[in-house]
């Protein structure tokens, strides 16, 4: 006798949390012009926060800021900055402060990724991902910390689950995100006495994102894999964001929250192993793009 697969529902944060829970608050988000970080920002705005999104492409940021403002009724401003450049981040933070007068929440989400084995990756490519993900997170914290201290606010760092095991073709991101997790833990310990919290969200495969289409051969609506029956939805990460920034999580800091439907516990790889290592040409069709 077979049982029917039970698939986890997709829920909006507005069905659970008050829509004014972040009224008067401000969120600053790197990487907020698209994808997961944009959805995290949108969720915060739907609950009353204003926002500043930072990234390198001003045209894209401006379009996203206008869209977020329109659909949420809150104010979102674009702040152009490369997270590898500390002064650009300081300028973006200064613009945010000039506009809103405060920063309560920070999402450190700027990231870069592509598929490459260790022997096929250049030193510069490895360095670039470390600079964007890990050093970029440090730079973001440095630029925002005085203001987050003043508001007794909170950080969320967007990481991954790749470094929980050896993930082929992902050495650069695994190293970078392990650094992000460690940085968040130290930040939580150092800044907790000043009323600042720091946590990590580690998304698994999230459907309808550039990351999934680039890096995975999974279908975004696949029901084969995660114990909860489906690939992740942007709402899943957004809901975790609202919770961790809310007062409901006021005693949670220094933690890593995987949002992956339990797939990490299956200990599987997206590419066939060891075939993908011994005969890389045989899986080229599965590697959809590079950085």
In a domain, 250, yes or no: yes
In a domain, 291, yes or no: no
Asked if the structure places residue 186 within a domain, the reply is: yes
Residue 219 pLDDT grade (very low, low, confident, very high; cuts 50, 70, 90) = very low
Tell me the average pLDDT across 79-83. 98
Query: Which pLDDT score, from 0 to 100, does residue 288 have?
Result: 55
The dihedrals phi and psi of 154, each to the nearest 5 degrees, come to -155, 150
Please report the pLDDT score of residue 243 as a whole number: 98
Computed over every residue of the chain, the mean pLDDT equals 91
Confidence bin at 279 (pLDDT 50/70/90): confident
Least confident stretch, 35-49, 134-148, 200-214: 200-214
Confirm whether 222 is a catalytic residue. no
**pLDDT greater than 90 at residue 213:** no
Is 49 a domain residue?
Answer: yes
The answer, yes or no, to whether residue 106 has pLDDT greater than 70, is yes
Does 97 reside within a domain?
yes
Q: In whole angstroms, what separates CA 91 from the centre of its chain?
A: 22
Q: pTM (2 decimals)?
A: 0.91
**Would you place residue 291 in the very low, low, confident or very high pLDDT band (cuts 50, 70, 90)?**
very low
Model confidence at 60, in pLDDT bands (50, 70, 90)?
very high
Q: Is the pLDDT of residue 210 over 70?
A: no
CA 144, CA 95: separation in Å to the nearest integer? 12
Q: Is the pLDDT of residue 223 over 50?
A: no
CATH number, residue 24: 3.40.50.720
For residue 281, is it within any domain?
yes
What SS3 string covers the chain?
CCCCCCCCCCCCHHHCCCCCCCCCCEEEEECCCCHHHHHHHHHHHHCCCEEEEEECCHHHHHHHHHHHHHHHCCCEEEEECCCCCHHHHHHHHHHHHHHHCCCCEEEECCCCCCCECCCCCCHHHHHHHHHHHHHHHHHHHHHHHHHHHHHCCEEEEECCCHHHCCCCCEHHHHHHHHHHHHHHHHHHHHHHHHCCEEEEEEECCECCCHHHHHHCCCCCCCCCCCCCCCCECHHHHHHHHHHHHCHHHCCCCCCEEEECCCHHHHCCCCCCCCHHHHCHHHHHHHCCCCC
Picking from 53-67, 118-132, 213-227, 248-262, which range would have the lowest pLDDT averaged per residue? 213-227
Write down the catalytic residue from 13, 154, 159, 174: 159
Instruction: Establish if 1 belongs to a structural domain.
Output: no
Count of structural domains, the chain: 1
- Which residue segment(s) compose the domain that 202 sits in? 19-286
Q: Is 159 a catalytic residue?
A: yes
Mean pLDDT within 232-256: 97
User: Considering the domain boundaries, does residue 216 fall inside one?
Assistant: yes
**Per the structure block, which two tokens stand in for 70?**
């329109």
Catalytic residue among 177, 184, 198, 276: 177
Residue 1 has pLDDT above 70, yes or no: no
In the prediction, which pLDDT does 216 show? 55
């Amino acid at each position: 006798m077979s049982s029917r697969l039970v698939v986890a529902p997709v829920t909006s944060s507005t069905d659970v949390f008050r829509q004014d829970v972040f009224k008067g608050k401000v969120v600053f988000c790197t990487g907020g012009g698209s994808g997961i970080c944009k959805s995290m920002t949108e969720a915060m705005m739907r609950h009353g926060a204003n926002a500043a999104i930072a990234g390198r492409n001003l045209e894209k940021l401006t379009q996203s800021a206008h869209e977020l403002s329109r659909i949420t009724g809150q104010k979102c401003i674009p702040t152009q900055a490369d997270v590898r450049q500390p002064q650009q981040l300081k300028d973006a933070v200064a613009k945010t402060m000039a506009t809103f007068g405060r920063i309560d929440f920070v999402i450190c989400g700027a990231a870069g990724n592509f598929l490459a084995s260790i022997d096929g990756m250049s030193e510069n490519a490895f360095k670039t991902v470390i600079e964007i993900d890990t050093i970029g997170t440090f730079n973001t914290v440095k630029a925002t910390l005085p203001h987050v201290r003043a508001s007794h606010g909170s950080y969320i760092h967007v990481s991954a689950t790749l470094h929980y095991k050896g993930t082929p073709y992902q050495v650069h991101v695994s190293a970078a995100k392990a650094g992000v997790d460690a940085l968040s833990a130290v930040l939580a310990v150092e800044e907790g006495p000043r009323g600042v919290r720091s946590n990590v969200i580690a998304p698994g495969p999230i459907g309808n994102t550039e990351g999934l289409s680039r890096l995975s051969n999974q279908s975004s609506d696949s029901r084969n894999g995660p114990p909860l029956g489906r690939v992740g939805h942007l709402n899943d990460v957004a809901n975790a964001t609202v919770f961790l920034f809310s007062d409901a999580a006021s005693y949670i800091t220094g933690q890593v929250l995987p949002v992956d439907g339990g797939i990490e516990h299956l200990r599987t790889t997206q590419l066939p192993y060891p075939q993908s290592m011994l005969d890389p040409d045989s899986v080229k069709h599965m590697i959809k793009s590079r950085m």
